[in-house]
């Protein structure tokens, strides 16, 4: 083994692995911006069904909405921030349930209100 190897011969392997990871991170930053930060609130996500077919609060008051958001902690359906009443955001403020998903066919993104990132 070369002079860089320790007693067990793993020093070169460790440096090589660190170099590969560093190169990968650099490549991701060049091609896709900085790496996405991790969200610490994913433990709130449950397998839920929407509790209503529209915004719960808007249905109760006769309000309107633009798009709907599904709370992935409890199944609450609220209207988005483009809607006049912003009930999805209000639900987060009231409950602390941080993770939502668009409640529209074909939409798969999720959002963390606390970290303000897609997860």
Among the CATH numbers 3.30.70.980, 3.30.40.10, 3.30.70.20, 3.30.1490.190, which is that of 42-118?
3.30.40.10
SS3 54: coil
Predicted local distance difference test score (pLDDT) of residue 82: 97
Task: Report the distance separating Cα 13 and Cα 55, nearest Å.
Answer: 55
pTM of full prediction above 0.85? no
pLDDT score of 108: 87
- Break the chain into its structural domains and give their ranges: 1-35, 42-118
The 10 Å Cβ neighbour count of residue 48 is 14
- List the structure tokens of 85: 């009443």
Q: Tell me how far apart the alpha carbons of residues 12 and 5 are, in angstroms, rounded to a whole number.
A: 6
Each residue's pLDDT expressed in tens, for the chain with a length of 119 residues? 444 444 444 444 445 545 566 665 555 455 544 455 588 999 999 999 999 999 999 999 999 999 999 999 999 999 999 999 999 999 999 999 999 999 988 888 999 999 999 98
Tokens 């969200």 locate to: 39
């Amino acid at each position: 083994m070369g002079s860089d190897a320790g007693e067990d011969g793993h020093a070169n392997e460790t440096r090589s692995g660190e170099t590969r990871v560093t190169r990968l991170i650099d490549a991701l930053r060049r091609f896709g911006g900085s790496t996405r930060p991790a969200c610490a609130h994913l433990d709130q996500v449950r397998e839920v069904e929407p509790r209503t077919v529209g915004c719960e609060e808007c249905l109760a008051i006769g309000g309107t909405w633009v798009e709907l958001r599904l709370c992935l902690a409890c199944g609450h359906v609220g209207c988005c921030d483009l809607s006049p009443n912003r009930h999805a955001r209000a639900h987060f403020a009231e409950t602390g349930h941080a993770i939502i998903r668009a409640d529209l066919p074909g939409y798969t993104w999720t959002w963390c209100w606390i970290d303000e990132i897609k997860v």
